[in-house]
Structure 1
């Protein structure tokens, strides 16, 4: 199969979209498929991606500019004609649109003109982000943009049932589910480190870990109710524009910056509980990584976490905005060692079969379905 991935976000910027693209591209390249990537050009970018098996995947970079005030986000400025030429040069069987907005919108129009099926993968709650960044007046326009892009695609894949239902409610057609994989070969309880725990917390303290960007949409400041619990040490893994303000707000927390690979795996496995307070998560990959590390998880009862966390078995869900519920749920697990261990084991078992190769093969099935639909003129 010849697979073209068009992504709004890619290396050197690392986020959930980039991670998913890297995982599926690595899988398809290793299984013999011909894969190419189109992504925004930015400083420090490479023209080729080397996969885990040593294969080189070409990355065709297109002209882009940084978004004002948020330089990690790139806005494609290439013409539709130029993009169509790049697509036509490769001649894909199917186009994977990763979190499509501006670049993805131009790509799906080009694909329609070239007669190529497209699978749009929804990952970023852009309408929700507009409110968090003080621009609620853009929410309606954001939904209109998403409808225009996704309804041109052969079909759309949502990462969770909540997100699927929300897309349908806002007029997006032909929506199915495709969840995300987790690297069970990397994350696991075996990475628990007594020496790391000693560096992060005082003897006898319970460790709560958060992993993610330090930005308004993640609502990391809500973790203050846990930071203030006696006998608890909050560890913040990640970086972003809110870091300085959060350090002032929660002076006892350990801010360890961005971590990856086995270093990240060790920080997760060495904690006692994982909490993600963001209410705009379409999936929340870090919850799966925490569960694969043997940790119970707590998150708001909204978005992707609703599908990932089984209350009273693998963690707790709390009512969005009810930080008293968050504090009570954290205390319930932190100070009951037997319950925490049982929840952690159940969490580990719940993600054991969600490897990236398995999820990538599910995605291959979606590609094949898109190609079949296109042949018979369904979409």
Structure 2
């Protein structure tokens, strides 16, 4: 498994890799992880190194540099030759490339040189970030890079129907659908905490929540349109480069910082409505976690959320860029207890079959297909 990002930085890519490693161990398979090391530079470079083993499998790290303006995200250095040596030592049947971009592209090239099949998993719509980070002229160049990487892969997995269409339109071949699982043991409505709600909403306010990176691509600033809804309070969970500016923009919100484990599950289950405004999500795992916690969702109508939210049944989809529509959809659920409970029950029921073991078994099938394709090539 070659991961573009990994521990200690926790995000959707890291979480997926950890779930897969757990499943591979349980099923008796062997794995080796190649990932960026903790960055050379930046204030947190020595705070928490990447682990040497995960689920009993070795983790090989390559030197990395922090991404400008976002020190927790690391870009691996090193050459194709160095990655090839790691693959030669591991002698894998298949190379899983998680969200390829820099390190992943080197891994695809190295695997091709060795005649190893690759399964590349599209997880991050990096070209869309160009606009958000003030470099729209880079978008087409980034899509060219995405097409080059995935065209060189044996098999390409997309997490949503929107991503499948997007990649097909970009000229990416050999596409298959592979969604994400959700931990329905951890994310469960029984974790709803009245004590936590009393702390966050002492006057019985309805809690409107967001979970994710506090970065430009998540569009958390759009939540400002909800800040003055009477009898409500915003709850923002996560950390990132925009945390200080968002605190200024949303002075009445509760900023919980980064949460994990049971603490995160309790927070999510204690919300009344979950909102996700980011338009560049290839999937959006936090939506599934909210739904598993019996929390209805209001999400933007672009990308992965289109597959996850059944509008008017498990939540609402609002028009991209239409913040008045966002406010209207949240208002509809916040002030209608009967409707909100009905949406919550439907949301909870809709994700009960999407367990990680089931999704990981599906991925093993994709591995087998790639190995057979590689043998036939």
Q: TM-score range by the shorter chain?
A: over 0.9
Helix, strand or coil for the counterpart of 1:120? strand
For residue 42 of structure 2, what is the aligned residue in structure 1? none
Q: How does 1:340-359 map to 2 (within 5 A)?
A: 340-359=340-359
Quote the residue 1:273 is aligned against.
273
Q: What corresponds to 1:191 in structure 2?
A: 191
Structure 1 CA distance for aligned equivalents of residues 255 and 110 of structure 2? 45
Q: Determine if the alignment matches structure 1 residue 70 to structure 2 residue 70.
A: yes
Count of aligned pairs: 369
| Superposition pairs of residues 16-165 of structure 1, within 5 angstroms | 16-42=12-38, 43=45, 44-51=48-55, 56-165=56-165
Whether the 8 Å contact between 1:47 and 1:60 is mirrored in structure 2 is: no
| Separation in 1, partners of 2:242, 2:228 | 19
Structure 1 contact 47–61 (Cα < 8 Å) conserved: no
Q: Residues 316 and 173 from structure 1, CA distance in 2 versus in 1: closer, same or farther, beyond 3 angstroms?
A: same
Q: Deviations over 1:55-109 (max 9, x none)?
A: x110011122222222222222212111101101110000100000111111111
> Shift of residue 190 of structure 1?
0.5
Could you list the structure 1 runs, at least 4 aligned residues long, displaced by more than 6 angstroms after superposition: none
CA distance in 1, matches of 2:73, 2:36: 10
Please give the secondary structure, in 2, of the residue aligned with 1:34.
coil
Q: Over aligned residues, Cα RMSD in angstroms?
A: 1.0
**1:21 counterpart SS class:** helix
- CA-CA distance at 1:244 after TM superposition: 1.3
2:10 paired with 1:6? no
2:179 and 2:359 map into 1 onto residues whose CA distance is 7
Which residue of structure 1 lines up, in the alignment, with residue 41 of structure 2?
A: none
Q: Secondary structure at the match of 2:49?
A: coil
Residue-by-residue CA offset, 1:39-65 (whole Å, 9 max, x unaligned) = 0111432443343xxxx1100111222
Instruction: Report the Cα offset of residue 272 of structure 1.
Output: 0.5
Q: Deviations over 1:258-317 (max 9, x none)?
A: 111111111111111100110011100000000000011011110000000001100000
Distance 2:69 2:289 in 1: 30
Structure 1, unaligned stretches of length 5 or more? none
Query: Secondary structure at 1:35's aligned position in 2?
Result: coil
Distance in 2 (CA, whole Å) between partners of 1:330 and 1:299 is: 10
- Once residues 200 and 131 of structure 1 are traced to their aligned partners in structure 2, the CA distance between those partners, rounded to angstroms, is 35
- Distance in 1 between the 2:17 and 2:112 partners? 22
Q: CA offsets, 1:160-183, max 9 Å, x none?
A: 000110111111111111000000
SS in 1 for 2:32: strand
Unaligned runs of 5+ in 2: 39-44
